[in-house]
Every structure is written in structure tokens, then in C-alpha cells.
Amino acid sequence: MCETMQTYIMKRNETPEDVKDWFIRAIQGLWPVATGSLSLRKCPCIREHCAACESGEGHSSYAIYGRQGDRRFSIYVPDNLVPEVQQAITNGRLMHQLINEAGQRYTRALKAEKRSKARK
């Protein structure tokens, strides 16, 4: 709570340009990015009399799920790429939070700038 209030007070006199500079610095290291979720799924295969499928074990694989416009998608992710895709999703979520914060800070900065110009 104290940290949030202190942050708000410090950001109070920001200009829209300050917010832009902050945002660019904040997203600088956020690559790769992705949205969606990574899931481990178990599916039967197409082979007849597969021992893994008949035992109920099935075949597990990872997939990234998400949306593009109105459509849902899933993409198979090989095991060796899972850490990189997971990092991209984590970075994407962080970027989304930064965009939300930037919108709030930018709006406050615009309002303050307009008030400042009206006083002059």
C-alpha cells in the first residue's frame, strides 16, 4: 500500500513524453512475446494397437492455445521449445500489465498537462 502511494506521488508530475520514455525502457528486454497459454495435453495416436494408448497412458505433448480475432487456435510445441514458448507467454503477460499501467499514467499526464495549460 505504501509503495503504491509513493509510486503514484512520484508519477504525478509526469508528462506524456515521460510516460512514453518509461514505456519504451520498460519493454526493451521483453522479447520474445506471445499471448495465450501453454498446456500439456494427452491424446491417443492414430496407430492401431498402440501399447501406450491401450494402457490408457496416451501420448503427451505441449500446445500453445490462444485467440486471433474471433478464432481460437492451438499450435503443437515440441518439448525442446517449451521453455522458450513459456518465457514468451510470461513476457506477453508482463507487457499486457505494462500497457495497462501506461494507459493510466498517460491519461493522468494528459489531464495534468491540460490543467497546466489552462492555468497559464
What is the average pLDDT across 93-105?
95
What is the per-residue pLDDT across 35-80, written as a single tens digit (0 to 9) for each? Answer: 999 999 887 777 888 888 888 777 888 999 999 999 999 999 999 9
Q: Which residues contact 34 (CB under 8 A, 6 or more apart)?
A: 64, 66, 85, 88, 89, 91, 92
What is the average pLDDT across 22-29?
94
- Structural contact between residues 91 and 99, judged by C-beta atoms closer than 8 angstroms: no
- Looking at residue 11, its pLDDT comes to 56
